[in-house]
Amino acid sequence: MVKLSFLDLLDHAAQYEARAVELIRELVGFPTVAFREPEAIVGCAQILREILQAYGYDAEIYPTAPNGSPVVYGEKDVGAPKTLMFYRHYDVQPEDPLDLWDSPPWELTERGGRLYARGTADNKGQFVFALLAIQLLEDQLGELPVNVKFVCEGEEEAGSKNLPRFTNAHSNLLEADGCSWEGIGMYLDEDEPIVGGKPNLPTPFYIYCGLKGIAYFELTAGGSPRYPNRDVHSGQAAAVPNAAWRMVWALNTLKDCKENILLEGFDELVRPPIQEDIDSLKAIDVDLAEIYKSDYKLDELLLGREGLDLYVELALKPSLSICGFTSGYSGPGTKTIAPARAKIKMDFRLVPDLTMDRVDELLREHLIKHGFDDIGATLISGYDPAKTPVSHPFITMVRDATRDLVAPTPVNVIPMAFGSGPAYLFSPHTPICYGGNPVEGINGHAPNENIPKSVIKSNIAFNAYIAQLLAEQR
């Protein structure tokens, strides 16, 4: 079968740009915030199925739970030796604060060479790019070199709590030789997209081989006879339990000032970093510490971390963060009380072999052992960690081919992304890979989310390029 070069694919991708814009326009018109507007979720799922069917896929909608978002699955089996899977999600972040949007969030608006609407970048646009990349190959080659699967879920931004109903019941549908997780994108320099016959990237390229897990908890103090039934005058603080202090003392047992997590049995579950992961991080020639200090206006990062140490902590080690603390009075002026209730939101970021259920057990056992059995601990949501080895053939294929394609632009491989997602449900069945080179100003999860219109062709072309590479792999 003929193989198209990346530059050939880029040239052909131009004819799909207008179609991409119209498909994105149709999809972003659905306000698909998970669990908020069921009609929008169902409507978008139906449109996704119709789009996949129109492009020749056997596509079905799989219900999850009575109030859950359905999964849209599409497959095109051409009898090829290799299968490429695209995981995408059609749910999006809420649009608020609405007053910070310069155009309607549920209506595609082109402005200054960019396409604005909620979901353009995360993740409806990436669905469209992958769909048209495969169509480009089919149109140009006459037949596909790989089998293709799409799995599109509708709860990723809200914890994917019903996705296991689909993955557990249909694990056979998840088998593939490689999975593009959310998107593997390439964004070219707008002024000089091609230099010396090579795609010109304005920023380094990153390949991620998995995602950390997360266990998100709510801790509560109050609401039992151990605490007053209402806030109390602070003049009586020597007599009445204070829920805020009680919570502070409990939190003080969870982590020390050197960032060590103190749950008994926790460290024993943390798989030590392996040398190939360390070597992969050591090869990164990007000063992340300076980027963070500049971005967050800091003189120094936590514990002075920088260089390899910072990358190892972010990519290969667990963390514990207090996300919110609510108790007592925080309005203007004074209100002298001993609070009757306190509430904490916090998350653990997980690495192999920490699971959210095991951390839930350890946290409860820890609180009881340290005399805080009155502190309620509820696991709100979470994901287990997922990791494909950096030496896996699918990862090395993407890495080596990308390095050859964009040299001398750095191509960096990071063992696990610092964020989290439901990749753990897929990684037992297929290697996971995602990434690209960062684009400034897309405002993911923020008002005025957008994608530059100029990235459409390069994303379509690169997705097609990866599909061709997988077809050649033996």
Is domain 213-270+318-383 annotated with CATH 3.30.1490.20? no
Stretch 138-159: mean pLDDT, rounded? 96
- Which tokens hold the place of 331? 């309005």
Stretch 91-112: mean pLDDT, rounded? 97
* Banded model confidence at residue 170, pLDDT cuts 50, 70, 90: very high
Q: Would you call 378 helix, strand, or coil by DSSP?
A: strand
Whole-number average pLDDT of the chain: 96
Pairing of strands 83-89, 147-153: parallel
Express as a percent the part of the chain with pLDDT over 70. Answer: 100
Per the CB < 8 A criterion, the answer to whether 84 and 470 are in contact is yes
User: Residues 332-385: pLDDT tens digits?
Assistant: 999 999 999 999 999 999 999 999 999 999 999 999 999 999 999 999 999 999
Backbone φ and ψ for 88, nearest 5 degrees, come out as: -140, 160
- pLDDT reported for residue 2: 73
What residue ranges do the domains of the chain occupy? 6-209+388-472, 213-270+318-383
Neighbours of 329 (CB within 10 A): 12
| Closest to 164 (Cα-Cα) out of 71, 72, 91 | 71
Report if pTM > 0.85.
Answer: yes
- pLDDT reported for residue 362: 98
Give CA angle at 210 (24, 166), nearest 5°: 65
User: Residues 224-248: pLDDT tens digits?
Assistant: 999 999 999 999 999 999 999 999 9
Decide if 6-209+388-472 and 213-270+318-383 have a common fold: no
pLDDT exceeds cutoff 90 at 282: yes
Stretch 401-410: mean pLDDT, rounded? 94
- pLDDT reported for residue 1: 63
6-209+388-472, CATH topology level: Aminopeptidase (3.40.630)
pLDDT exceeds cutoff 80 at 128: yes
User: Residues 406-416: pLDDT tens digits?
Assistant: 999 999 999 99
Q: Give the single-character DSSP code of 234.
A: G
Stretch 255-259: mean pLDDT, rounded? 97
